[in-house]
């Protein structure tokens, strides 16, 4: 058979593949509808594993590796297609219906454009304005609807012609709709968002003493929700009021603590308005900050085993309610939950830990390629900053100096969202590094047997021996890692295993 005939045969096969794969996706659409109706997660790892075994069993032995890679990709594309359908049950012509956005003073950290982009296809922009610009912007801009964030939630209220009940009661507006006559209607979807957050955590606030940190628009909303749910004493802590941070100790019996201030928000990660050590009776902690995913206040709550929730779920829920106001379309609760899961997957980093030479950098780059994410390697950051290799740093400055450089590099890169991060093998020797990673990352332990680890260019492995170093660090890797993935000979397959472990667990949760 000549080349022409062979190519015609391949073309015919490709035509058949296109038709069959298109049909597969159409069936996936029906599967997605069924799962959405019955609250079933999109990702079914057991089904995929069974299907892969079946496909491989029907494949010639010399082609099984190729077939395995092909079906891993087919599964991934099918999941993405189903998730898109279940997270975006909206009018595809929404883009033509209006112009929307977010008004605030500093918005570089905002997740709102991503969330609204996942909800619908309408235009959604960021409007950073100084206080003196807000009035003119609201009067003369051509938006159809806005979300409003700090510090303008109370400012905007004064400029609206009409207000919803929630906006009136809270004295705060975070959503503005322009009427056909050009007048502005103010609403408060934060009320719905915080109510949703409490419900998702299953927090009981009735009769509880609640401490609300902050006196701005967000705090007013929190107080309204807590009051409506029957909370007992609700105390507002401000910088200069009768109840302030100087005398907060007299409220150490608080059972619910809510941070409604920007303290701890990116880029000032690690700060906290209070130390939870003071509140021995605390039963629940909420932080309205959504970036980082886990603020220092939330990390403290986790350390103490106190039920807690950050602001990301609230942000998604209030955005979904704003979408309903923008489009006059309802969203079922399960859609909001799926959206929150999807947003959580997108904004959290995946941080790889493990022994020196186990393949974190190589696997990390493959994972970043699979997920279309930025990749950061803390060893490379230290190398670049110091102008010398890590081995040279150890020789000339010692291990302690290197650990300081490593922690400094991690302190900055851990503030990022939606990235893949490869860490140095000894990152687990400092507990402070774990805290840095926990704020925005899912931590994955890449496990590779020590007898196969290289030691060249790795000073501690060469000095102590890879087996001894592994015995020392393996308990720390295991304790830090939320997932443990065995390293295989193919970095891309290991990266796929990491992706399956992380995304599968997040979908199930």
On whether both 256 and 299 belong to a single domain, the answer is yes
On whether both 467 and 356 belong to a single domain, the answer is yes
On whether both 295 and 255 belong to a single domain, the answer is yes
What pLDDT is stored for residue 89 in this prediction?
37
Which residue among 38, 60, 87 closes a domain? 87
What pLDDT is stored for residue 35 in this prediction?
65
Is 70 exceeded by the pLDDT of residue 97? no
On whether both 361 and 501 belong to a single domain, the answer is yes
Range of the domain at 62: 21-87
On whether both 377 and 503 belong to a single domain, the answer is yes
On whether both 356 and 488 belong to a single domain, the answer is yes
How many Å apart are CA 374 and CA 353, to the nearest integer?
Answer: 17
pTM for this entry: 0.78
Is 70 exceeded by the pLDDT of residue 505? no
On whether both 163 and 304 belong to a single domain, the answer is no
On whether both 388 and 465 belong to a single domain, the answer is yes
| CATH at residue 199 | 3.40.50.720
How many Å apart are CA 98 and CA 378, to the nearest integer?
Answer: 43
Q: What stretches of 120-152 show up as alpha helix (H) in DSSP?
A: 134-140
Q: Please report the beta strands in 29-141, taking only residues with DSSP state E, as ranges in sequence order.
A: 99-104, 123-128
498: buried, middle or exposed (CB in 10 Å: 19+, 13-18, 0-12)? buried
On whether both 355 and 489 belong to a single domain, the answer is yes
Q: Which has more pLDDT, 352 or 48?
A: 352
- Is there a catalytic annotation at residue 153? yes
Task: Answer yes or no: is 232 within a domain.
Answer: yes
- pLDDT by residue (tens digit) across 165-197? 999 999 999 999 999 889 999 999 999 999 999
| CATH at residue 399 | 3.40.50.300
On whether both 267 and 373 belong to a single domain, the answer is no
For residues 295 and 289, the answer to whether their CB atoms sit within 8 Å is yes
Task: Answer yes or no: is 14 within a domain.
Answer: no
| CATH at residue 142 | 3.40.50.10860
Task: Answer yes or no: is 410 within a domain.
Answer: yes
Task: Catalytic residue, from 51, 84, 153, 154: name it.
Answer: 153
How many C-beta atoms lie closer than 10 Å to residue 114's C-beta?
17
Number of domains in the chain: 4
């Amino acid at each position: 058979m000549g080349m022409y005939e062979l190519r015609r045969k391949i073309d015919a096969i490709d035509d058949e593949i296109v038709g069959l794969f298109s049909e597969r996706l159409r069936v996936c659409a029906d599967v997605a509808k069924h799962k959405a109706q019955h609250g079933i997660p999109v990702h079914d790892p057991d089904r995929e594993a069974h299907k892969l075994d079946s496909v491989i069993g029907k494949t010639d032995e010399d082609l099984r590796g190729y077939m395995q890679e092909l079906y891993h990709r087919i599964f991934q594309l099918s999941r993405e297609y189903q998730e898109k359908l279940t997270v975006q049950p909206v009018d595809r012509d929404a883009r033509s219906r209006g112009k929307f956005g977010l008004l605030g003073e500093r918005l570089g950290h905002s997740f709102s454009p991503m969330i609204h982009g996942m909800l619908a296809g309408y235009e959604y922009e960021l409007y950073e304005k100084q206080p003196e610009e807000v009035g003119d912007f609201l009067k003369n801009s051509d938006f159809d609807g806005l979300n409003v964030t700090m510090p303008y939630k109370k400012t905007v209220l004064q400029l609206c012609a009409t207000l919803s009940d929630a906006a009136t009661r809270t004295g705060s507006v975070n959503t503005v709709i322009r009427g056909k006559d050009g007048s502005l209607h103010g609403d408060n979807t934060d009320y719905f968002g915080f109510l949703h957050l409490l419900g998702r955590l299953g927090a009981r606030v009735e009769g509880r003493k609640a401490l609300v940190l902050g006196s701005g628009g967000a705090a007013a909303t929190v107080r309204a929700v807590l009051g409506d749910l029957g909370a007992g004493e609700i105390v507002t802590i401000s910088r200069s009021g009768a109840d302030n941070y100087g005398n907060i100790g007299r409220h150490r019996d608080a059972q619910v603590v809510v941070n409604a201030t920007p303290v701890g928000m990116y880029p000032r990660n690690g700060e906290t308005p209070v130390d939870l050590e003071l509140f021995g009776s605390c039963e629940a902690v909420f932080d309205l900050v959504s970036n980082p995913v886990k603020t220092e206040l939330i990390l403290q709550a986790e350390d103490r085993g106190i039920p807690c929730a950050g602001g990301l779920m609230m942000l998604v829920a209030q955005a979904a309610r704003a979408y309903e106001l923008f489009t006059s379309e309802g969203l079922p609760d399960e859609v909001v939950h799926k959206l929150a899961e999807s947003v959580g997957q997108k904004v959290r980093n995946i941080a790889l830990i493990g022994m020196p030479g186990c393949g974190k950098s190589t696997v990390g780059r493959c994972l970043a390629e699979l997920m279309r994410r930025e990749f950061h390697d803390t060893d490379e950051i230290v190398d670049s900053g110091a102008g010398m290799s890590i081995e040279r740093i150890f020789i000339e400055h010692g291990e302690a100096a290197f650990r300081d450089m490593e922690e400094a590099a991690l302190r900055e890169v851990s503030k990022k969202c939606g990235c893949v991060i490869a860490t140095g093998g000894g990152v687990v020797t400092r507990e402070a590094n774990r805290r840095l990673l926990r704020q925005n990352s899912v931590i994955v332990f890449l496990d590779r047997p020590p007898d196969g680890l290289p030691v060249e260019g790795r000073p501690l492995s060469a000095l102590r021996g890879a087996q001894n170093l592994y015995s020392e660090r393996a308990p720390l890797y295991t304790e830090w890692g939320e997932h443990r993935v065995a390293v295989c000979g193919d970095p891309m397959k290991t990266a796929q295993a990491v992706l399956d472990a992380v995304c599968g667990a997040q979908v199930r949760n």
